[in-house]
Amino acid sequence: MISTVCSVAGAILLLAVAVMEILLIAGLPLGEFTMGGRYKVLPPVYRILAASSVILQLFGAAMIIQGGGLMNMWFAVKVTKIICFVFAGFFAVNTVMNIISPSKKEKYVMTPLAAIEACCFAITAFFM
């Protein structure tokens, strides 16, 4: 039950961040929420990074939903569990990086999101 709730919450947050990344790619002035807030509008080179982030976010959403038992498995259970733990570690590191960000928007909005993602992935992986 807890892994199902965490997997749904984690997927929703990942999809929300993917939408934000798409808006960044489109040129909306949301750059203060990412990459240390250096740019209000991302330069073209950083939009490519944002596009790769969208792909990663969507893959992560699929993995956490699978880990929660809400989607047919693309990979074996052990592989999905490892992927979920890797994402948990990634978001734990991301939480620390957001905490030390000079951007207040990144620090106060993206830090809690990354921390929640780390917890959601870890809980989902533990209870698979």
pLDDT digits (tens, 9 = 90+) for 28-69: 999 889 888 898 999 999 999 899 999 999 999 999 999 998
Question: How far apart are alpha carbons 123 and 18 in whole angstroms?
Answer: 22
Which pLDDT score is estimated for 106? 93
pTM above 0.85, yes or no: yes
Q: Which helix (H) or strand (E) holds 116?
A: helix 111-126
The pLDDT assigned to 128 comes to 86
Reported confidence tier of residue 87, pLDDT bands at 50, 70, 90: very high
Is there a contact between 54 and 21 (Cβ–Cβ < 8 Å)?
A: yes
User: To the nearest whole percent, how much of the chain has pLDDT over 70?
Assistant: 100
Q: How many CB atoms lie within 10 A of CB 125?
A: 23
Cα 54 to chain center, whole Å? Answer: 9
pLDDT digits (tens, 9 = 90+) for 114-126: 999 999 999 999 9
Strand, helix or coil for residue 39:
coil
Which is nearest to 114 in space by CA: 81, 97, 91, 96? 91
- Please choose, from the candidates 1, 7, 126, the residue with its C-alpha nearest in 3D space to the C-alpha of residue 63: 7
